[in-house]
Amino acid sequence: MNPVGGKTAVCGLIGNPVEHTMSPVIHNFLAEKTGTDLVYVPFHVETGRLQDAVTGALGLNLLGLNVTVPYKTDVMECLSSIDPSAEAIGAVNTLVRTEEGFRGYNTDMPGLYRAMCADGVRVAGERVLILGAGGVARAVALMLLEKGAEQVILLNRSRDKALELAERINVKAGRPFAEALGLEEYGRIDASRKYLCIQATSVGMYPKTEEAPITDPDFYRLLSTGYDLIFNPMETRFMRLCREAGAEAFNGYRMLLYQGVLAFSLWTGIEISEELAAETYAEMCRAMEAK
């Protein structure tokens, strides 16, 4: 790590919990490799202290912050301005210091797209299933619309939430682009086609690694590719079920990389090459194995 001095810029992560975060590995590695005088620190923010945390970060002259669960929506109230794309998603994961206060961005959505491109997963013209209708599913659905997917089917435990999200996306699309089903209603999906499936629920995340949102092998036979946004563990049960049914499977580790790379660029103005992104990814894998 670069030596810390009086001119060292500070960035960090606010969330609850933050103890298992990989973001310091990404940003401190990028700072070292690009010769940027910057350190990145996680900050645990207690319930009810979000506004204090953002005001304190401004007062302490922090250059920027990442925001994680459960504050990605609530933090929007604490900002001086919001990037239109983050506004449309309804969630902010990156704050950048400006003269007026912090400006909010969402790097999850472009981060996922860049990760999918790097993994060779095509979106344009595809029929896509999204499992989940939470914060990240909303960003995924908008990305799929922007990048030219043919159709989206949202499957969520609470069907009402899937319906609400599908309606919002359809208004934006100006056509019936998204439809909603309950998580158990996959039998209604046209089985004569193959689908890309993006797993955007929190089911299967460490420590409940033996869980998957759907366990029926028939569901997995609908898929050509499964893309799990979970990155811990690196191989989820969802991914194993995809492979057992003959589909390709990817995890969310590259999305984590690219949402971080994009945030680093917003803070520093430095474009990160694909070579340096790959080096950072290898560093993240080493750090994960050492855990």
**What are the residues binding ligand NAP (CB under 6 A)?**
69, 108, 132-137, 156-158, 161, 183, 200-203, 205, 213, 229-231, 252, 255-256, 259
Report the nearest approach of ligand NAP to the CB of residue 134 (Å): 2
Report the nearest approach of ligand NAP to the CB of residue 2 (Å): 25
Q: Are 91 and 135 in contact (CB under 8 A)?
A: yes
Tokens of 245: 């049914």
Select the residue whose beta carbon is closest to ligand NAP and give its number.
Answer: 134
Prior bond of 17 cis (ω within 30°): yes
- At residue 230, the 3 state secondary structure works out as coil
Rg of the chain (C-alpha set): 19
Residues with catalytic function:
72
User: Of 17 and 125, which CB lies nearer to ligand NAP in the complex structure?
Assistant: 17
Report the nearest approach of ligand NAP to the CB of residue 60 (Å): 26
Length of the chain: 291
**Residue 159, CB half-sphere, CA atoms under 13 Å: how many?**
8
Residue 52 neighbours by CB under 8 Å, 6+ apart: none
- Round to the nearest angstrom and report the end-to-end CA distance of the chain: 19
Q: How far apart are CA 251 and CA 111, in angstroms?
A: 13
Pairing state between β 248-250 and 223-228: parallel
User: Of 58 and 189, which CB lies nearer to ligand NAP in the complex structure?
Assistant: 189
Instruction: Select from 259, 255, 257, 149 the least CA-distant residue to 197.
Output: 149
Report the nearest approach of ligand NAP to the CB of residue 174 (Å): 25
Report the nearest approach of ligand NAP to the CB of residue 121 (Å): 14
User: Of 189 and 205, which CB lies nearer to ligand NAP in the complex structure?
Assistant: 205
Report the nearest approach of ligand NAP to the CB of residue 203 (Å): 5
User: Of 2 and 206, which CB lies nearer to ligand NAP in the complex structure?
Assistant: 206
Q: Are 97 and 63 in contact (CB under 8 A)?
A: yes
**Residue 138, CB half-sphere, CA atoms under 13 Å: how many?**
20
Tokens of 222: 């609908």
User: Of 30 and 229, which CB lies nearer to ligand NAP in the complex structure?
Assistant: 229
User: Of 96 and 230, which CB lies nearer to ligand NAP in the complex structure?
Assistant: 230
